[in-house]
Amino acid sequence: MIDSTIRYFDSPGKRNTDQVMDAVTRRLELGGITHIVVASNSGYTVERLLSRVGDRPINVVAVTHHCGFKTEGECEMEQDVEDSLRSKGVRIVRASHVLSGIERSITKELGGASRVEAISESLRALFGQGLKVCVEITVMAADNGAIPCGDLEVMAIGGTGTGADTACIVRPAHANSFFDFEIREILAIPRVKRKGKRK
């Protein structure tokens, strides 16, 4: 049994990043975590994480948008930032979003919605963008071989837009066995799921 607390934020967003890292540090002190997956497109969030991890023997995986996400042919994470993170032992995963991928292109072109997008929107509506991101990046990391799968627990950190507002402990799964995925602990999460919504 784990006796833990959940940190709740009044609203989502980057301003919660350092408090998320406080919750992450507190959970790392309980032990049992050797892999952390973190969403980071600029390097900001993973750098904030690294400042807390210290010399713990932890596999840190930064998951970033696929090339062309914003501008055709361009990657968002600057090469010098990526090189710096790699020099600190961070593994970078750049991949298509597992909960949209080519389905998003079909929806934009032809309309309608896919089952994959329905899963994504359900996670977003019920638990917020940050938790949806945590699920997605963990599957992306698993599919890239950056973290092991099976009955092991991984910490995932995500956010709404930039920075971090959600952290959780999960049992990872590959995309082709998505329903084996489990959210086992929530460490930090916004109470209000969408920016601008009333409390």
Q: Any idea which residue has 């023997």 for tokens?
A: 57
Residue 171 in domain: yes
Tokens of 139: 């599957």
| pLDDT at res. 149 | 92
Distance of CA 3 to the CA centre of its chain: 23
Q: Give the sign of the dihedral formed by CA 9, CA 81, CA 79, CA 63.
A: negative
Q: What is the pLDDT of residue 198?
A: 43
> CATH number of the domain that 155 lies in?
3.40.1380.20
Q: What is the pTM of this model?
A: 0.92
Question: What domain range includes position 37?
Answer: 7-190
* Confidence at residue 196, expressed as pLDDT on a 0 to 100 scale: 52
Q: Decide if 198 is inside a domain.
A: no
Sorted by sequence, the CB contacts under 8 Å of residue 134 that are 6+ apart come out as 37, 39, 156, 157, 158, 166, 167, 168, 170, 183
pLDDT digits (tens, 9 = 90+) for 61-77: 999 987 767 778 787 78
Q: How far is CA 178 from CA 24, 99, 119, 142, 148, in A?
A: 25, 10, 11, 11, 14
Segment (H or E) for 184: strand 182-190
Specify the pLDDT at position 98.
86
Residue pLDDT tens, the chain, 199 long: 777 789 999 999 999 999 999 999 999 999 999 999 999 999 999 999 999 998 899 999 999 987 767 778 787 788 999 999 999 999 999 988 888 777 777 777 777 778 888 888 899 999 999 999 999 999 999 999 999 998 899 999 999 989 999 999 999 999 999 999 999 999 999 999 875 544 4
What pLDDT was estimated at residue 108? 73
3-state helix, strand, coil in the chain (%, to 5): 40, 20, 40
Q: What is the pLDDT of residues 91-113, one digit of tens each?
A: 999 988 888 777 777 777 777 77
Q: Is 30 within a domain?
A: yes
pLDDT score at 199? 42
Helices (H), the chain: 17-28, 44-53, 79-87, 101-110, 115-127, 129-143
Q: Is residue 199 part of a domain?
A: no
Domain for residue 184, yes or no? yes
| Residue 1 placed within a domain | no
Number of domain units in the chain: 1
Q: Is residue 149, in this structure, part of any structural domain at all?
A: yes
Q: What is the pLDDT of residue 17?
A: 97
Distance CA 166, CA 32 (A): 19
Residue 31 lies in a domain: yes
